[in-house]
Amino acid sequence: MNDLKNTSNLAAIDAAHHLHPFSDMKELNAKGTRIIERAEGVFIYDSTGKRYLDAFAGLWCVNVGYGRKSIAEAAARQMQELPYYNAFFGTTTPPATLLAQKIASHTGEKLKRIFFTNSGSEATDTWFRMARVFWKALGKPQKTQVIARRNGYHGSTVAGASLGGMKLMHEQGNLPIEGIHHIGQPYWYAEGGDLSPADFGLKVARELEAKIDELGEDQVAAFVAEPIQGAGGVIIPPETYWPEIARICKARNILLVVDEVICGFGRLGEWFGHQYYGIEPDLAPIAKGLSSGYLPIGGVLVSDRVADVMVEELGDFHHGFTYSGHPVCAAAALENIRILEEERLVERARDHIGPYFAAAWKSLEDHEVVGEAQSVGLMGGLQLAADKSTRRRFAKPDEVGMLVRNHCLQNGLIMRATGDRMLASPPLTINRPEVDEVIDTLRKALDHLR
């Protein structure tokens, strides 16, 4: 057996052989990477034995918390029974089919079918093709253009990075690919000017209408957005935003794609983010909380509107992945959802720990460098401000965010910074003393900006 406990010179080996995602490798190799060895509940432990409260649930994904033996056991059982078979060419496996049914028991009436992938990025590529195929099957092959948002995030594949609105990703690789367009984001604090949040929400939503007019309604296949922009900084839209977006998509006959990769599986205190906002997507990519990150699995929820056309009109959909509906990942996901149900973690995020977290998070607004601290369920975004009375931001947003993040890290708290916004997304199992620990440590880190 491989000895995975021998970590004595792992940092050097890592520097020699391992290229990391979203990392400046030169800088990382100089510093040496942090090695995470084990985890339990909301805590992770590095190779020096240091404990961190993971207020980011890995990468927004460990919704049921770490150390769930029953998920490990479900995966091990399935691995012994049937480690792999696919869903191609007329076959399925019990976990894949039962998982599809289980997911459908938590979606709205019209979102009952799923196409499995391994990740959120693959889910993005999948709905992107589905949207085009849908219109083609309906005799509208020219409806191919897709509208997304500046500062949105939909993954790292070529389609994912193109649909995302991250400038730095576009700069690497000549993106976006053709047929993708971006409109503004509902980021009132930074871009709302003198408008009220409600008026600003309507204004940015109506950029969708203007973009459809510019491109021609008969050319546009879909609009995609995250219920709350995650990687962009936990940008919580004004309440006017989503109803107006839904109205426009319906009036202009374009598919509404709601990216549930972060918001799905309880993050906002509902099973899905679109339920929180009361809207009905035509397509909805999912991943992360589907298995709480214990094994990689994602998918696209497909509405009857789209699925009926795919089933009745399309013939073969020439798309799929070797591991679509992987039985071991599906078994882990089934157990993960069983835990979410049995421990009522979604309801807990809405009715109990969510409101406690919201009040604690909001209390940071009395700090002089905090412009705004908003949250929904267990997802929080905190805006750093140089002058909160005028909403003036710090001159070097990335530096201030990183400084706060690093102070948190030194004191055993994993937070993420996006520019001058601090983001939180803890496991749904977090308890009150652990929320207090997050807030106390973050508050002390914020003091360094005074």
Residue type, 213: D
The token pair at 95 is 């976990």
Q: What residues from 57 to 76 belong to the interface with ligand PLP (CB under 6 A)?
A: 59
- Contacts (Cβ under 8 Å, ≥6 apart) of 72: 294
Closest approach, Cβ 259 to ligand PLP, in A, equals 4
Closest approach, Cβ 287 to ligand PLP, in A, equals 4
CB 281 within 8 A of CB 111: yes
Rule CB under 6 A: choose which of 63, 93, 107, 121 binds ligand PLP.
121
CB 282 within 8 A of CB 306: yes
Closer residue to ligand PLP in complex, CB, 184/230: 230
Q: Is 128 in the site for ligand PLP (CB under 6 A)?
A: no
Contact segment (CB under 6 A) with ligand PLP among 50-58, 115-123, 140-148, 317-325 equals: 115-123
3-state secondary structure of 4: coil
Closer residue to ligand PLP in complex, CB, 155/184: 155
Whether cis (ω within 30° of 0) applies to the bond prior to 176 is: yes
Neighbours of 93 (CB within 10 A): 21
Closest approach, Cβ 46 to ligand PLP, in A, equals 23
Q: Is 155 in the site for ligand PLP (CB under 6 A)?
A: yes
Q: What residues from 222 to 261 belong to the interface with ligand PLP (CB under 6 A)?
A: 226, 230-231, 259, 261
Closest approach, Cβ 431 to ligand PLP, in A, equals 26
Closer residue to ligand PLP in complex, CB, 132/154: 154
Helices 327-342/94-104 angle, 10° precision: 40
d(CA 12, CA 67): 28
Closest approach, Cβ 61 to ligand PLP, in A, equals 8
Q: Is 262 in the site for ligand PLP (CB under 6 A)?
A: yes
Closest approach, Cβ 231 to ligand PLP, in A, equals 5
Closer residue to ligand PLP in complex, CB, 74/123: 123
Q: Which residues pair with 225 in a beta bridge?
A: 258
d(CA 113, CA 101): 8
Q: What residues from 323 to 342 belong to the interface with ligand PLP (CB under 6 A)?
A: none
d(CA 335, CA 71): 6
**Binding string, residues 164-203; x marks residues near ligand PLP by CB under 6 A:** ----------------------------------------
Contact segment (CB under 6 A) with ligand PLP among 82-90, 150-158, 264-272, 330-338 equals: 150-158
CB burial readout 329-364, b (16+ within 10 A) else e: bbbbbbbbbebbeeeebbebbbeebbeebbebbbeb
DSSP state for residue 312 in the 8-state scheme: I
Closer residue to ligand PLP in complex, CB, 226/372: 226
Closest approach, Cβ 148 to ligand PLP, in A, equals 11
The token pair at 113 is 């079918």
- Residue count, binding to ligand PLP (CB under 6 A): 16
Helices 432-447/353-362 angle, 10° precision: 20
Contact segment (CB under 6 A) with ligand PLP among 42-50, 120-128, 378-386, 395-403 equals: 120-128
Closer residue to ligand PLP in complex, CB, 122/437: 122
3-state secondary structure of 229: strand
Closest approach, Cβ 58 to ligand PLP, in A, equals 10
CB 227 within 8 A of CB 263: yes
Contact segment (CB under 6 A) with ligand PLP among 34-42, 62-70, 119-127, 305-313 equals: 119-127
Contact segment (CB under 6 A) with ligand PLP among 143-151, 152-160, 272-280, 317-325 equals: 152-160
CA distances from 29 to 18, 23, 406 (A): 10, 10, 18
d(CA 335, CA 339): 6
Closest approach, Cβ 232 to ligand PLP, in A, equals 9
Closer residue to ligand PLP in complex, CB, 165/354: 165
Q: What residues from 270 to 299 belong to the interface with ligand PLP (CB under 6 A)?
A: 287, 298
**Residue with CB nearest ligand PLP?**
120
DSSP state for residue 290 in the 8-state scheme: G
- Contacts (Cβ under 8 Å, ≥6 apart) of 226: 152, 153, 154, 232, 258, 259, 261, 262, 263, 273
Rule CB under 6 A: choose which of 153, 189, 200, 242 binds ligand PLP.
153
CB 412 within 8 A of CB 51: yes
- Which residues are at the interface with ligand PLP (CB under 6 A)? 59, 119-121, 124, 153-155, 226, 230-231, 259, 261-262, 287, 298
